[in-house]
Amino acid sequence: MATNWLTTDELRAWVRLVAVLELLPGRLDAQLRRDAGLTNFEYYVLAMLSEAPDRTLRMTDLAAQTNATAPRLSHVVQRLEKRGLVARFPCPTDGRVTNARLTDEGWEKVLATAPGHVAAVRHDVIDALSSRQIDQLREIGEAILQRLDPDGRLTPMYHRHDPS
């Protein structure tokens, strides 16, 4: 089978996407470490719990929402637990399952951290784009996500802020 090489325009777009995917996580991680003592993934876990009913999720649901393996999530939640930001406990409706809950201290951490994180996202991404480009970025993201997540496993995560 012959290779369907990228055109010059496709290659230029691809290289820029790769550069964004390489640079942006490091920028966000650096800001969160500096300002909040959290990694980007730790903050993401706290944010997912902060949006959940009663700030509580089953560990399996939290893993699905963060696209994390069970061992990675368990390790991160253990670190957050040691800092008093998260508490784990048996699920009251299914003792075989463990829940994770954002503690009051964790909620305060999210409230204190969110403004700086939003400012970094705004500075590094949102303010670099016009409103038309924001719409295009959403549409581009949707098209790529349909390929990467054809079964819609993560659809609730990336559609959670869409209007009903």
Q: What is the CATH number of the domain that holds 113?
A: 1.10.10.10
Residue-number span of the structural domain to which 130 is assigned: 24-154
Task: Give Cα 70 to chain centroid, integer Å.
Answer: 16
> Into how many domains does the chain fold?
1
Query: What DSSP designation does 130 have?
Result: -
Q: Is residue 161 part of a domain?
A: no
In a domain, 11, yes or no: no
Domain-embedded: residue 164:
no
In tens, the pLDDT along 72-129 reads 999 999 999 999 999 999 998 888 899 999 999 999 999 999 999 999 999 999 999 9
Q: 0.85 exceeded by the pTM? A: yes
Residue 136 lies in a domain: yes
Question: Is the separation of the CB atoms in 79 and 73 below 8 Å?
Answer: no
